[in-house]
Amino acid sequence: MTCIACGETLDREDAREYDKHGDRWTREGKTFEYLCKPCDREYCHQNREGLEETLLAADAGRTDRKTFLRRFCELTTDNENFD
């Protein structure tokens, strides 16, 4: 496994799955990318800043789950640098 953020080579058990679609519960027909633990922590930390605002902006609790997840994904991917 290779960390997509820093390029570190990882053992499978040390890698954290990263799904650029933001939906790691739908596993069928997917391949996952991987982050090392330090990058995974950093990624989660970044996304928690302003999480509440992002949830509100995505209409959490006021729209159906699918729409919410799509909006939330769009909003949060603005902050990532993996592409």
Contacts with Zn ion by CB under 5 A lie at 3, 5-6, 8, 36, 39
9 DSSP β-pair partners: 2
Q: To the nearest whole angstrom, how small is the minimum distance from the Cβ of residue 27 to Zn ion? A: 22
Burial of residue 3 (CB within 10 Å: 0-12, 13-18, 19+) is buried
Choose between 6 and 56: whose C-beta lies nearer to Zn ion: 6
Asked if 37 contacts 10 with a C-beta cutoff of 8 angstroms, the reply is no
Q: Is the CB of 16 or the CB of 54 nearer to Zn ion?
A: 16
Q: How far is the CB of 55 from Zn ion (least distance, A)?
A: 27
